[in-house]
Amino acid sequence: MDKTVKLRTSNKQLQSTFDSCLVLTKQLIKAKVSDKEFEQYLSLSKRATSFEYENVVWHISDTLFQLPNGYQIFYDFIYNGDTITSFRADFDANLRVIDYRRFNLVAFRKFIDEELPITESKARKIALGNGMKEQGLDLIFYCSTDKFYWECKNDCDGCIYLDIDAKTGNIIGQGKVVYQY
């Protein structure tokens, strides 16, 4: 069952347009996942979903007075207790889709179909087993047409980073973080 997201606004058109953006985003996602899978694996990211005004970004929790220039709708993909990545759809003020993350939809499908077994927690274990430090370990999921992997890095000068294949768990890239001052 869909939950209504009530914005902090008295502008009924803004609320209506936002609701339409949510519906359109769900339609994009449901091209790759069923209704049941949507309910099971996806959750609106209230932290990331935002409204663009000129050079300023406002969030769901902000009090909004006027229609924005654009909308960014994010849904987190949560699989086996791990937030894998977020799906993002961008809309202009007229509800035209500007952009959306097509490859993320492919990745969602591959995780659900168990073609990508390496979740964030598994990638973290692999990274720690290969000498990375627990403190400050940052994992980001990346995907493209044929590559699905976890970038694991400690954010410090001289620390190592690893790219871990989300299908095999193999290390497919590595190096050192080097800051240039």
What pLDDT, in 10s, does the model give residues 108-129?
999 999 999 999 999 999 999 9
Domain encompassing residue 140: 120-176
pLDDT band at 155 (very low <50, low <70, confident <90, very high): confident
pLDDT for the residue 4 = 78
Domain end (from 80, 112, 144): 112
Q: Is the pLDDT confidence value at 31 over 80?
A: yes
Same domain, 77 and 158: no
Q: Is the pLDDT confidence value at 3 over 80?
A: no
Rounded to an integer, the average pLDDT of 30-35 is 94
Residues in the chain: 181
pTM for this model (two decimals) = 0.87
pLDDT for the residue 1 = 42
Domain end (from 64, 95, 112): 112
Same domain, 64 and 140: no
Residue 109 is encoded by which pair of tokens?
């499908």
Same domain, 51 and 100: yes
pLDDT band at 180 (very low <50, low <70, confident <90, very high): confident
Same domain, 62 and 147: no
Same domain, 101 and 143: no
Same domain, 44 and 129: no
Same domain, 80 and 144: no
Same domain, 103 and 134: no
The DSSP-derived string for 109-178 is HHHHTTS----HHHHHHHHHHTT--STTEEEEEEE-SS-EEEEEEESSTT-EEEEEETTT--EEEEEE--
* CATH number of the domain where residue 136 is located: 3.10.450
Domain end (from 112, 141, 163): 112
pLDDT for the residue 2 = 52
Same domain, 81 and 27: yes
Rounded to an integer, the average pLDDT of 11-21 is 95
pLDDT for the residue 181 = 74
